[in-house]
Amino acid sequence: MKKLNFKQRIIFVLLSGIPYGIVLMLLNYFFDLYTIKSVLYQTLLFTILFGIGFPFVMEKLVPKMLSKLKTPEMEDDEIIIYEDGANLFSGTWVAVGGKLFLTNKRLIFSPHKYNFQKGETSIYLSEITEISKRKTSRIVDNGLRVVTKDNTKYDLVLNDRDEWLKQLKK
């Protein structure tokens, strides 16, 4: 799995830790639970825990979760070309974590066992009409949108979007 570079880590810290810290600060402030100084220390601690600690823990756990995923059921003459961890949004606001496989015939998304969605999502390459880059939360450049002939939109969050585009265009 591709590691985040320094700039990506800083963006992740800012986008995850600071909002959590601000929410905590506001809750404490409006309920008069602590002094402003105490709330600021809590905000700093919260930012460090969730902005730095959470990504570190996830970096260690995600590869283990993905390695336990089985290879999807394949057709007789189907071979895997490329695979990596991904998240799938398929018409909802809820992301499903798992692994994305590119074969010579399909894109197959296999969710890991910690999701509510248990079934695989399979998109035949011949059904795809459009593939475009997108930003996750309109900020982070790590998404792809896949549109099929029946106008179904699949939004993917990928570790290496440019490599996926390169592989899909082959």
43 is written with which tokens?
Answer: 């905000």
Angle in degrees, CA 59, 18, 15, rounded to 5: 55
pLDDT > 70: percent of the chain: 74
Q: In the chain, how many H helices and how many E strands?
A: 4, 7
Angle in degrees, CA 118, 119, 121, rounded to 5: 130
What pLDDT score was predicted for residue 1? 42
Question: What does the pLDDT look like over 93-135, one tens digit per residue?
Answer: 778 888 999 999 999 998 887 766 778 899 999 999 999 999 8
Question: What does the pLDDT look like over 135-162, one tens digit per residue?
Answer: 887 777 888 999 999 999 999 999 889 9
pTM of the complete model: 0.65
Query: Can you say whether residue 34 is alpha, beta or left, with left for phi > 0 and alpha for psi between -120 and 50 degrees?
Result: beta
